[in-house]
Chain A
Amino acid sequence: MTTVTIPVAADRGARQVRLWANEVGKGMRLLRRRWPMAVVGVLMDAAVYLGVNFFLGGGRIVTELMVLTLPALLAVAIAQVLAVEGSGGIAEEINGGTLEQAQLSPIAATTDVLGRVTALALQGLAAAAVLATGFLAVFGLHYEPHPSAVVPALLIVLDAVGYGLVIIALTVRVASIGAITHVFNMVIMFFGGMIVPIAVFPDALEAAARLIPTAVGVQALNTTLAGEPLSAAWADGTLPLLLAHTAVFVAVGLWAYARNLRRAKREGGLSPR
């Protein structure tokens, strides 16, 4: 039999990149098999968003409101994919034993989970792109974005990734995470700027809402989508808060995942539940 030599330490960094890419590829292949679920998710988000706008408009669609809240819908779509699919995926892997098999490799826990969330972020971005294209085309929404709008947009995706990481980490520890994830998603949906911009909330509620994943990012994005430069978002405090929020969520998510994985190994919790 041919002996296969596995490189050990020489290209450790390059190897972790290959392992990450392998996880992303796996995530995309799994997504390909469950695309009908993704389509249903997009349709549900669109229906809820339209229904709320129609209700708030007293029986008509308010496109002026839509211009301000559409970015939040897109952020919610990405965050939901990361949390719901991320949590469901890792729970299925625990129950199916494939998470244990993943531990039988040189992949670092952080590389493993970053690969998973990268695939989910791509799925979320695809959902957001479909929603954005549909709403812009159907309702003729108009934006005059500053080129720097791409910065808060990317940070929103990273913030959603951080949120997904935290939920995935919790799933390794808490078997009945489904209900908790649902509550968190509802909070993001209702208080993250998708119904009305959070700037219209009372001050205390707005301050609290800014701590919700993606909410402050949507505020910063709306500033740049209105043609203001990035410095305006920095000056009003939304951009610094977004940077801090994203950094904290990503760091806590990665740390909690690695910690809960170690804890699960101590308690035998990686086995099917």
Chain B
Amino acid sequence: MADAIAYSGLSKTYGRGRDALTAVRETTLSVPWGQVIGLLGPNGAGKTTIIKMTAGLITPTSGTVRIGGSDIRRDRAEAVRLIGAVLEGSRNVYWPMSAWENLLYFGRLKGLRGAEVRPRARRLLTELGLWERRHQVVGGFSRGMQQKVAVAAALITDPRILLLDEPTLGLDVEAARTVRDWIARLARDEGKTIVLTTHQLQVAQELSDRIAVIREGEIIADLPTAELLARHAENRFEVRLDAPLDGLRASIPEGARVSEDGAETRIVLPDADTGALYEFLDRLKESGAPLTAVARAQPSLEEIFIRLVHDEPAGGRVA
């Protein structure tokens, strides 16, 4: 069975001559069915270009994109049946039309009949909490509600593949959480294949089975999320306390890294010496410090991302 998405030697260069700008270079990558892949990269790295080439909205300079085995350029009608997309920086839906009219329009646009679209539109709007306001124009909705309508429109034909380019961008905390929970549900319960770009690395870490880091149009890392985190786990111990450091500074081993976040203190010991760890824990016990965790030091995806983007040599690929 063909992969959900397969890029082969995919490149995109905008402009010509001196003004030429290569946005994506020789990208070869496959996404199996049901996988959530997070495409991470700084602004201008080429994430949106990849998403749009996947959807057939930007024509590659070279290489191919296959969706469920169908070439997006040659078998467009076949390929786009499998895709739903929420694109960055776009309204995605018609603001002068109501949520209901939008879903009916986009469902029919994909080739479905009204009778097939209506029950599905009803269900999506109900689940997203928009049913009562279905006949109001989308332009009058809050940003979060507008994004929910865009997500619903992308899902109206139950596509097996979702392309989500910064789906939580510009949303308030609650709306972002709703959209995030929905993405998690779609991946977990419905087995959707999802390509996700986001600058919110916590969201990417939470939702993605796999992370691909892009820098200047090149994929410099491509690993399952757990493996990426494990590879960057440090050979040191980390101790967490539910208290400020205050009177404990003298007890901290030399070379330890200390960070405080509100009431929580994180201390990364200088090495993996278990003797030194027990010694330190004894001192904490004596002082009555409220210990919350002892673990192998694990940098966050954000820390790993920054290291990869800034330190990984050009031309290398972690995979």
Contact = CB atoms under 8 A, between A and B. Distances in A.
Interface of A: 1-4, 6-8, 15, 18-19, 22, 25-26, 29-30, 33-34, 96-98, 100-107, 262, 265-268, 270-272
Interface in B91-138: 91-97, 101, 105-106, 108-113, 116, 119-120, 137
What are the 8 tightest A-B residue pairs by CB atom distance, in nearest-first order? A97-B90, A106-B77, A22-B108, A96-B91, A33-B96, A105-B109, A265-B59, A266-B59
Contacts of A266: 58-59
A217 B87 CA distance: 44
Contact of B94 (A19, A30, A104): A30
Given A1-B158, A6-B112, A6-B157, A105 B57 contact: no
A107 B112 contact: no
B158 A2 contact: yes
A107 B87 contact: no
A100 B93 CA distance: 10
B52 A33 contact: no
Contacts of A25: 105
Nearest to B49: A268
Counting contact residues on chain B (CB < 8 A from A), the size range is 35 or more
9 contacts: A30-B96, A33-B137, A96-B95, A98-B90, A101-B106, A104-B110, A106-B76, A265-B57, A266-B59
B229 interface: no
A7 B89 contact: no
B114 to A, nearest CB: 9
B94 A97 contact: no
A124 to B, nearest CB: 19
B85 interface: yes
Contacts of A107: 109
A271 B49 CA distance: 11
B175 interface: no
Contacts of B89: 97, 271-272
B59 A105 contact: no
B81 interface: yes
A3 B160 CA distance: 10
A104 B80 contact: yes
Contacts of B109: 19, 22, 101-102, 105, 107
Contacts of B137: 33
A265 B58 contact: yes
A132 to B, nearest CB: 28
B164 interface: no
Nearest to B95: A96
A75 B89 CA distance: 39
B111 A106 contact: yes
A267 B14 contact: yes
Contacts of A271: 52, 89-90
Given A97-B91, A272-B90, A104 B111 contact: no
A96 B150 CA distance: 12
A97 B87 contact: yes
Residue among B59, B108, B109 with max Cβ neighbours from chain A (10 Å): B109
B228 to A, nearest CB: 30
A233 to B, nearest CB: 41
A104 B166 CA distance: 18
Given A4-B120, A4-B158, A270-B57, 13 more contacts: A3-B158, A22-B109, A29-B105, A96-B94, A98-B91, A100-B52, A100-B90, A102-B109, A103-B80, A104-B57, A266-B59, A267-B14, A271-B89
Contacts of B184: none
Contacts of B57: 100, 103-104, 265, 270
Nearest to A18: B108
A266 B62 CA distance: 11
Interface in B21-60: 49, 52, 55-59
Contacts of B194: none
B92 A98 contact: yes
A19 B106 CA distance: 10
B83 interface: yes
A26 B119 CA distance: 20
Contact of B111 (A15, A98, A268, A270): A15
Nearest to B190: A1
B312 interface: no
B302 interface: no
A208 B110 CA distance: 45
Nearest to B89: A272
Given A15-B111, A22-B108, A29 B91 contact: no
Nearest to B73: A265
B181 interface: no
B153 interface: yes
A18 B158 contact: no
B227 interface: no
Nearest to B84: A104
A8 B78 CA distance: 7
Contacts of A4: 112, 116, 120, 157-158
B87 A100 contact: yes
A116 to B, nearest CB: 13
A262 B58 CA distance: 9
Contact of A26 (B58, B78, B105): B105
